[in-house]
Structure 1
Amino acid sequence: MSQAIKSIMSKVVIAVASLYIRRVLATTSSYCPNNQDACFRWGVPTIAASSGSGDVYFQVKAPTSYQWVGLGIGSGMSGSDMFLVYQDGNGNVTLSTRTCTGHNMPQYTPRSQVELIDGSGVSNSYMIANIKCMDCNGLDLSGSNSWIAGWKNGAALDSTDLSHTIQEHDGYASFQVDFALATFSSNGNPFTGSSNSSGSGAIFQSSSSTSEHLVNAHGVIMAIVFAIAYPVGAILMPIVGKWMVHAGWQVLAFLGMWVGFAIGYVISQDDGSWGKESHVILGVIVCALLGIQPLLGWAHHVYFIKHRQRGIISHAHIWYGRILMILGIINGGIGLQLASAPLSQIIAYSVVVGVMAVAYVIITSICVVKKARAQKQPLLDQTQSEGEYPETWMRLPPGQARDEWVSMEDVSGKRYVEQPRHA
Structure 2
Amino acid sequence: MMQQLFTTAALSALTYGAFGTAATVSRCPTSNVCYQVGVPEASASSAQGNIYMQLRAPTTYSWVALGTGQQMRGANIFVMYANGDGNVTVSPRYGTGHSPPQPQSDTHIKLLAGSGIVDNGQTMVANIQCSNCESWNGGSGSLDLTDTSANFIAAWKGGNALNSNSLDASISIHDSNSQFTFDLTQATIASDGNPFVNAGEGTTPPSGNTGSGDGSSSVSEIPKLASAHGIIMSIVMVVLYPIGSVLMPLFGSWMLHGVWQIGSFLVMWAGFAVGVILAQRTGIEFGSTHTLLGTVVVALFGVQPIGGYLHHLHYVKHQKRGLVSHGHIWYGRVLLVLGIVNGGLGLELASADRSLVIAYSVVAAVLFAVYVGGAIFGEVKRARTRGLADRARKNSSE
TM-score when scaled to structure 2? Answer: 0.59
Quickly say closer, same or farther: Cα 1:66–1:116, change in 2 above 3 A.
farther
Verify: 1:361 aligned to 2:359, yes or no: no
Match of 1:339 among 341, 347, 350: 350
Q: Note if 1:166 corresponds to 2:174.
A: yes
Indicate how the Cα distance of structure 1 residues 85 and 376 shifts in structure 2: closer, same or farther if over 3 A, else same. Answer: same
**Count of residue correspondences:** 303
Indicate how the Cα distance of structure 1 residues 213 and 139 shifts in structure 2: closer, same or farther if over 3 A, else same: farther
**Which residue is equivalent to 2:143?**
137
Between the aligned residues of both structures, percent identity stands at 37
- SS in structure 1 opposite 2:280? helix
Residues 270, 326 of structure 1: CA spacing in aligned structure 2 closer, same or farther, 3 A cutoff?
Answer: same
For the pair 1:300 / 2:311, whether they are aligned, the reply is yes
- Distance change in 2, residues 1:61/1:328 (3 Å): closer
**Residue number in structure 2 paired with 1:395:** 393
Aligned partners of 1:212 and 1:192: how far apart in 2?
29
Structure 2 unaligned residues grouped into runs of 5+? 1-34, 70-74, 83-89, 110-125, 136-141, 178-186, 195-202
In the alignment, structure 1 residue 216 sits paired with structure 2 residue 227: yes
- Asked if 1:95 corresponds to 2:115, the answer is no
CA deviation profile, 1:101-136 (whole Å, cap 9, x unmatched): xxxxxx969999x9544899xxxxxxx999753346
Q: Aligned partners of 1:250 and 1:264: how far apart in 2?
A: 21
The Cα of 1:343 is off from its aligned counterpart by 1.9
Instruction: Answer yes or no: is 1:317 the counterpart of 2:335.
Output: no
Distance 1:205 1:378, change over 3 A: closer
Task: State the TM-score, normalized to the length of structure 1.
Answer: 0.56
Query: What amino acid does structure 1 have at the position aligned with 2:160?
Result: G
Tell me the C-alpha RMSD between the 2 structures: 5.3
- Which residue number in structure 1 is paired with residue 300 of structure 2? 289
Counterparts of 1:38-117 in structure 2 under 5 Å? 48=43, 51-54=46-49, 67-71=62-66, 83-84=78-79, 95=93, 97=95, 115-117=104-106
Query: 1:207-236 deviations in whole A, cap 9, x for unaligned?
Result: 233222111111111001111111001100
Give 5+ residue unaligned stretches, structure 1.
1-39, 75-79, 99-106, 121-127, 170-175, 184-189, 381-393, 400-423
Query: Amino acid of the residue matched to residue 290 of structure 2?
Result: H
Residue-by-residue CA offset, 1:239-261 (whole Å, 9 max, x unaligned): 11100100000000000111011
Q: Which has the higher contact order (CA 8 A, sep 6+)?
A: 2
Deviation at 1:277, TM superposition (A): 1.6
Structure 1 Cα separation of the partners of residues 40 and 374 of structure 2: 70
Q: What residue in structure 2 maps to residue 274 of structure 1?
A: 285
Q: 1:398 to 1:369 in 2, by over 3 A?
A: closer
Cα distance, 1:138–1:246 mapped onto 2, change above 3 Å: farther
Q: Larger Rg: 1 or 2?
A: 1
1:231 equivalent in structure 2: 242
Residue by residue over 1:6-37, the C-alpha shift from the partner in whole angstroms, topping out at 9 and shown as x without a partner, is xxxxxxxxxxxxxxxxxxxxxxxxxxxxxxxx
- CA contact 1:43–1:182 (8 Å) conserved in 2: no
Report the CA distance shift for 1:207/1:395 in structure 2 as closer, same or farther (over 3 A): same
Query: What is the rounded CA distance, in whole Å, between the counterparts of 2:281 and 2:266 in structure 1?
Result: 23
